[in-house]
């Protein structure tokens, strides 16, 4: 068994376990360094509590000695001091609890906000490989574990060490023989902690994975209630939830079994230590070596000594739990980050050319997904202000992928995409997204009022600007009939609206932003042909120098587009008027 354990440890070392732990510890240190004042505060409060506890033990000793006649002194003054220490301990406990809670909430929210920002700025293609439930679990549960651990682990380590040393010093001062009994349980505790550490590493990973799985299932099922009902899948999903819950209960009960065994063993050790101390104390009192008060103090300090030692050993699994959570966060944060270094250059470019518009040029573009699926090879597109350029082709040929490339959600493997205005030119980067408005497939409305949804993309938009955008997208036709017009509330994901109404609101939101380039990804698929043509004509006749690119399966609007590109065989080929006419006629 020992050889097998050694082999596992050796294998983990070869796989880079020490390097991984050092990396996680370094990341935790980055946050701990930011909150060193809070950590010092926690530590000082802990030291104060330890000193009060020892002081109370000494006062109790004097009080017992006075009562039993082993020592003369002022009974009332000693009793008053005991009450004073108790009140002081109560006030310090309540004050530190209030301040600690405030600090903990503040740091927890700050760390979560920081991790949230870093997650959102992570490269889209990489982070899209994670289930949203898993991401939510890492951001919520793991981030809370980290914030709590940063504030408590180091202070607890120092406080427990201080408690141990101070209690041991007092014991040695009064009677060194008593200190021996406090160490009876140390070998058992050390052996137990070794077993617990190995089990805890596995348990933490299993628990995190299971929580993420449950959270992901709940999120998906609640957000797709309509689909579950439509396919009569209620029983299927209930049974699936029950199977997940059964798996969760089995996992938790495995943890509970370990906890029970550990608790029993530690309690037995504690009883052995306590009764041994009692027996030795009685003998020392009968032999006249110590007073009753000293015995009372020793029994109190013995418990404190054993407790602080267990707390010290307990910092090890806590550290493992902390680094496990840190590792799950670091997995996400280690992914490539989007480059926003050209923010100022893009702003200057826009300010210089917002009145004339911006041309988008794709040249020799090649892109292959990480799974090896090649989508484009030497693809080219050209779209200028006041133009509507269409991308057509069968599903799966790359229309949506092209829009993701234009939005810098994906990075070209070959060729380039540039934004041009006269002789001025900038490359396409995540910074250039501020020049785009985008209407994706599906319902993208948020809960809140229609006006709030509109102002998500332009916070200072006036009611008049919102209404004008709604009119351009033909959405004001139904919005003006609502009880509160633009201040009418929407449910989650636009609940209560038809798909066509949601699409028109999405288009209005994109138009309100007044970005030089507008991307419509099947954004009019739920509209009738007449409304679709009206929306596109409104965009074409608008004075704003907008460059518009649409993907569509419906050929009925192609004759109002300036240019139509057919995506086929990894190319983007300009279709002739005859080809477009033939496609329209079907």
Q: Report pLDDT digits (tens) over 225-256.
A: 766 776 677 788 888 888 888 888 887 787 77
- The reply to whether 242 and 349 lie within a common domain is no
* Residue 117: inside a domain: yes
- Using the 3D structure, point to which of 304, 333, 362 is the last residue of a domain: 333
Query: What CATH number has the domain bearing residue 502?
Result: 3.40.50.300
* Residue 11: inside a domain: no
The region of weakest confidence among 411-420, 472-481, 495-504 is 495-504
- Using the 3D structure, point to which of 333, 357, 391 is the last residue of a domain: 333
- The reply to whether 202 and 61 lie within a common domain is yes
Q: Rounded to whole angstroms, how far apart are CA atoms 83 and 91?
A: 12
- Using the 3D structure, point to which of 333, 365, 384 is the last residue of a domain: 333
Q: For residue 296, which of 500, 90, 140, 63 has the smallest C-alpha distance?
A: 63
Q: Rounded to whole angstroms, how far apart are CA atoms 501 and 503?
A: 5
Q: Which residues, other chains included, contact 115 with Cβ-Cβ below 8 Å and sequence gap of 6+?
A: 139, 143, 329, 333
Structure tokens at 221: 């099922």
- The reply to whether 293 and 347 lie within a common domain is no
The region of weakest confidence among 29-43, 262-276, 335-349 is 262-276
* Residue 7: inside a domain: no
User: SS in 3 state form for 539-582?
Assistant: HHHCCCCCEEEEECCCHHHHHHCCEEEEEECCEEEECCHHHHHH
* Residue 2: inside a domain: no
- Number of compact structural domains in the chain: 2
- The reply to whether 185 and 236 lie within a common domain is yes
Q: How confident is the model at residue 549 (pLDDT cuts 50, 70, 90)?
A: very high
Residues 414-451 have pLDDT tens digits of 888 999 988 899 988 899 989 999 888 776 778 788 89
* Residue 3: inside a domain: no
Domain that holds residue 418: 343-585
Q: For residue 355, which of 305, 416, 281, 422 has the smallest C-alpha distance?
A: 422
Average pLDDT of span 32-40: 77
Residues 148-180 have pLDDT tens digits of 777 777 787 888 788 788 877 877 777 777 666
pTM recorded for the entire structure: 0.70
- The reply to whether 431 and 381 lie within a common domain is yes
The region of weakest confidence among 197-206, 274-283, 287-296, 463-472 is 197-206
- The reply to whether 310 and 426 lie within a common domain is no
* Residue 114: inside a domain: yes
Q: How confident is the model at residue 9 (pLDDT cuts 50, 70, 90)?
A: very low
- The reply to whether 326 and 368 lie within a common domain is no
* Residue 12: inside a domain: no
- The reply to whether 138 and 282 lie within a common domain is yes
* Residue 522: inside a domain: yes
């Amino acid at each position: 068994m020992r050889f097998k354990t050694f082999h596992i440890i050796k294998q983990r070392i070869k796989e880079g376990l020490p390097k991984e732990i050092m990396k996680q510890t370094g990341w935790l240190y980055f946050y701990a360094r930011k909150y060193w004042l809070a950590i010092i505060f926690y530590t000082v409060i802990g030291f104060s509590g330890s000193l009060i506890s020892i002081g109370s033990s000494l006062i109790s000793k004097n009080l017992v000695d006075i009562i039993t006649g082993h020592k003369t002194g002022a009974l009332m003054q000693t009793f008053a001091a005991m009450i004073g220490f108790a009140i002081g301990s109560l006030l310090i406990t309540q004050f530190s609890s209030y301040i600690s809670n405030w600090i903990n909430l503040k740091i927890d929210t700050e760390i979560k906000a920081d991790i949230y920002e870093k997650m959102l700025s992570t490269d889209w293609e990489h982070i899209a490989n994670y289930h949203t439930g898993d991401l939510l679990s890492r951001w919520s549960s793991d981030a809370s574990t980290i914030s709590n651990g940063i504030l408590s682990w180091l202070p607890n380590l120092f406080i427990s060490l201080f408690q141990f040393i101070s209690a041991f010093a007092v014991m040695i001062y009064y009677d060194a023989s008593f200190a021996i009994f406090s160490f009876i349980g140390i070998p058992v505790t050390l052996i137990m902690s070794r077993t617990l550490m190995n089990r805890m590493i596995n348990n933490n990973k299993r628990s995190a994975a299971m929580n993420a799985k449950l959270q992901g299932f709940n999120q998906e099922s609640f957000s797709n209630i309509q689909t579950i009902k439509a396919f009569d899948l209620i029983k299927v999903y209930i049974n699936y939830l029950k199977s997940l819950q059964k798996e969760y209960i089995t996992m938790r009960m495995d943890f509970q079994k370990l906890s029970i065994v550990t608790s029993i063993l530690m309690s037995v050790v504690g009883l052995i230590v306590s009764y041994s101390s009692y027996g030795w104390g009685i003998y020392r009192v009968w032999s006249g070596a110590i007073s009753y008060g000293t015995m009372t103090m020793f029994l109190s300090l013995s418990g404190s000594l054993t407790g602080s030692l267990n707390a010290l050993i307990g910092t090890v699994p806590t550290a493992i739990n902390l680094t496990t959570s840190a590792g799950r966060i670091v997995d996400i944060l280690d992914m490539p980050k989007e480059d926003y270094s050209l923010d100022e250059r893009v702003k200057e470019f826009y300010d210089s050319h917002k009145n004339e518009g911006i041309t988008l040029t794709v040249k020799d573009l090649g892109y292959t997904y990480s799974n090896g699926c090649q989508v484009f090879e030497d693809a080219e597109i050209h779209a200028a202000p006041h133009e509507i350029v269409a991308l057509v082709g069968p599903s799966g040929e790359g229309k949506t992928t092209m829009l993701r490339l234009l939005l810098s959600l994906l990075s070209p493997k070959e060729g380039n995409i540039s934004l041009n205005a006269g002789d001025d030119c900038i490359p396409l980067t995540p910074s250039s997204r501020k020049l785009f408005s985008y209407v994706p497939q599906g319902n993208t409305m948020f809960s809140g009022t229609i006006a709030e949804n509109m102002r998500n993309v332009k916070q200072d938009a006036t009611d008049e600007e919102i209404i004008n955008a709604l009119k351009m997208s033909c959405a004001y036709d139904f919005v003006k009939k609502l009880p509160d017009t633009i201040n009418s509330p929407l449910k989650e994901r636009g609940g209560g609206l038809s798909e066509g109404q949601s699409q028109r609101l999405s288009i209005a939101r994109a138009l309100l932003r007044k970005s030089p380039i507008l991307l419509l990804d099947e954004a009019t698929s739920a509209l009738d042909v007449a409304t679709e043509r009206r929306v596109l004509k409104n965009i074409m006749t608008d004075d704003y120098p907008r460059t518009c690119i649409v993907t569509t399966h419906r050929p009925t609007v192609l004759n109002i587009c300036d240019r139509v590109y057919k995506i086929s065989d990894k190319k983007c080929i300009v279709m002739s008027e005859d080809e477009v006419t033939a496609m329209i006629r079907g």
